[in-house]
Amino acid sequence: MSDKESETEGLIKEAARKLFHEKGFAGTKTRDIAEAAQINLALLNYYFRSKKKLYDIIMMESIQHFFSDLVVVINNAETNFLEKLQELAIIYIDMLSQNPDIANFILNEVRQHPDQFTSKLGALEMAKNSVFLKQYTEAVKEGVIPPVHPAHFLMNFAGLVVFPFIVTPMVSVVTGLPRTDLIELIQERKRLVPLWIQSMLQVK
């Protein structure tokens, strides 16, 4: 592939990523992608053949991007599980601040195709064999935290980190806070989320 072709493919994928994240598969038209990438429809079809093929590529790249940092952090043997928690809060709040639509996009994909999510990403094995889970289990055995199922941690963490980005438009309407204030509040959560999780876990 020539540099020009590679550049064109990149422009198409970037335009498609933005539209798919914002509108989903059904709400995005190939013509919209072509217009956003500033190419004609025939050229888009030449590179990707169909909207479904392009969507599948964007979906897999988005999921891999969303979870790539997670894999590194939860398998770092040099940090304890509380330090991992702090790292993850910072990483995901920064990521979602840059691309808030990715949260809904991935949640919808996982909900609609859970089997594909598990098989293609290896999410189940990744979680089962992680250093984090081993450290969490050890902390329970040592009495550092109460015997709470790790799924509770996952749900609490996702709720505290991801959900605010989903409800931010509603919060803006209800509170009347300007966008700049909401951004500042979101950034505060990098410090607050680990503290809240520790409190929930009753860390000793």
| Distance from C-alpha of 43 to C-alpha of 202, rounded to nearest angstrom | 57
| Segment 167-190 mean pLDDT | 91
59-201 is classed in which CATH architecture? Orthogonal Bundle (1.10)
Burial category of 184 from C-beta neighbours within 10 Å (exposed 0-12, middle 13-18, buried 19 and up): exposed
pLDDT one-digit tens code per residue, 54-65: 999 999 899 888
Q: Which residue has the higher pLDDT, 3 or 185?
A: 185
| Domain ranges (residues) in the chain | 1-49, 59-201
What is the pLDDT, as a whole number, of residue 121? Answer: 67
Question: For residue 50, what are its two tokens?
Answer: 């169909």
> Phi/psi of residue 144, each to 5°?
-70, -35
| Distance from C-alpha of 157 to C-alpha of 50, rounded to nearest angstrom | 37
pLDDT one-digit tens code per residue, 119-162: 666 656 777 789 999 999 999 999 888 888 888 888 999 999 99
How far lies 30's CA from each of 5, 47, 50, 55, in Å? 19, 12, 8, 10
Domain 1-49: state its class: mainly alpha
